[in-house]
Amino acid sequence: MKNSKYTFLLASALLLASCGDQNEATEVEDQNASTEVTDVADSTNEQVEEESDTESEDEEVVEEEPEEEAVTFEYEVNSGIYTIQPIEGSEADSQVALLTYDDAPDKYALDIAKTLVEHDAHAIFFVNGMYLENDEGKEMLKEIHDMGFEIGNHTQTHASLPSISEEKQYEEIVTTSDMVEEITGERPRFFRAPFGQNTEYSADLAREQGMALMNWTYGYDWESDYMNADALSDIMVNTNLLVPGANLLMHDREWTLEATPSIIEGLREKDYEIVDPALIKSVENESEDVE
């Protein structure tokens, strides 16, 4: 009996030990399984994040700025008589006239520009930097430029260039180009000296600055006999100086503003096209070929 009791106790102890080992093994297996699930989940999350990043990169569209269309220049300035003539090899019409307005933007340049737009006519506004020293002048020039008009350089203070030093000539020309660029984002392509008085230095400097010299073929609006719209429009259209490529000089004046519609209509009645200055090459464009 006593031996049987010991045998029973021994068997019970072995059974409990066996259960404990099985529980520990089960716990280890459960822990390992949990670890594997966590690892798989982490791996899956990382893969999803990587795929998401890849998709974001694929979806990210890089917007490229549109390239500016190259201008085909059809005309050039005749450096001897300052008419506007077709470039050799161009099939452009020679029966053209160029409208230009000096001393802008003083009082009437913006209204002149609006009048030109109404009549679908192009022009160059030659500006003096002294009119760009205040906000009103800057705003007017910006608006004129934004309408699509070419802006030319007419010096800072309208000084007679032969009467001042080369240093002063440099200031007169370059300062104005700098101001125009600051306001419009573009430097002038054409230079007109006050009174048409260039010096050897100013001519060379203008070319170095990428500008073609541009005087004129005729103009009248500073003469007392033509300080009214009727007389001015009549002479501008009916003068014998009107020839193919004529380069018309006008100014920022009230009577010139009033005469502008009649001048445009009169030129067109004589079969003259108002040339677009954007088609006229400047010094910086001389390497451009006509297509």
What distance in Å separates the CA atoms of residue 228 and residue 290, rounded to the nearest whole number? 41
Answer yes or no: is 291 within a domain.
no
On whether both 48 and 157 belong to a single domain, the answer is no
On whether both 90 and 5 belong to a single domain, the answer is no
pLDDT in tens, 167-212: 999 999 999 999 999 999 999 999 999 999 999 999 999 999 999 9
Question: What is the DSSP secondary structure assignment for residue 277, as one 8-state letter?
Answer: G
Answer yes or no: is 55 within a domain.
yes
Q: How confident is the model at residue 126 (pLDDT cuts 50, 70, 90)?
A: very high
Number of domains comprising the chain: 2
Q: Residue 283 has what pLDDT? A: 80
Burial label, 90 (beta-carbon count in 10 A; 0-12, 13-18, 19+): middle
Q: Residue 183 has what pLDDT? A: 98
On whether both 35 and 176 belong to a single domain, the answer is no
Do 119 and 264 contact (CB within 8 A), yes or no? yes
For the record, the structure tokens of 221 come out as 């609006």
Answer yes or no: is 90 within a domain.
yes
Domain boundary among 63, 93, 109: 63
On whether both 180 and 275 belong to a single domain, the answer is yes
Answer yes or no: is 37 within a domain.
yes
On whether both 51 and 180 belong to a single domain, the answer is no
Answer yes or no: is 248 within a domain.
yes
SS3 sequence of 110-131: HHHHHHHHHCCCCCEEEECHHH
On whether both 59 and 84 belong to a single domain, the answer is no
Whether the ω angle into residue 188 lies within 30 degrees of 0, i.e. cis, is no
Domain boundary among 40, 63, 86: 63
CA 226 to chain CA centroid, nearest Å: 38
β-pairing, 75-77 vs 84-86, is antiparallel
On whether both 127 and 270 belong to a single domain, the answer is yes
| Crossing angle between the packed helical segments 135-146 and 166-184, to the nearest 10 degrees | 70
pLDDT in tens, 62-104: 556 556 566 789 999 999 999 999 999 999 999 999 999 999 9
What distance in Å separates the CA atoms of residue 24 and residue 20, rounded to the nearest whole number? 6
- pTM (two decimals): 0.76
On whether both 200 and 86 belong to a single domain, the answer is yes
The mean pLDDT of the chain is 84
Q: Which domain holds residue 218?
A: 75-285
What distance in Å separates the CA atoms of residue 103 and residue 158, rounded to the nearest whole number? 8
Average pLDDT over residues 39-68: 51
Answer yes or no: is 58 within a domain.
yes
Quote the Cα angle for 113-117-121, to 5°: 95
On whether both 52 and 80 belong to a single domain, the answer is no
More confident: 12 or 228: 228
Answer yes or no: is 181 within a domain.
yes
pLDDT in tens, 138-178: 999 999 999 999 999 999 999 999 999 999 999 999 999 99
The CATH code of the domain that includes 250 is 3.20.20.370
Q: Residue 196 has what pLDDT? A: 96
On whether both 144 and 223 belong to a single domain, the answer is yes
For 10, what's the count of Cα atoms within 13 Å in the CB-facing half-sphere? 6
On whether both 58 and 84 belong to a single domain, the answer is no
Domain boundary among 38, 63, 88: 63
On whether both 55 and 79 belong to a single domain, the answer is no
SS3 sequence of 42-90: HHHHHHHHHHHHHHHHHHCCCCCCCCCCCCCCCEEECCCCCCEEECCCC
Answer yes or no: is 290 within a domain.
no
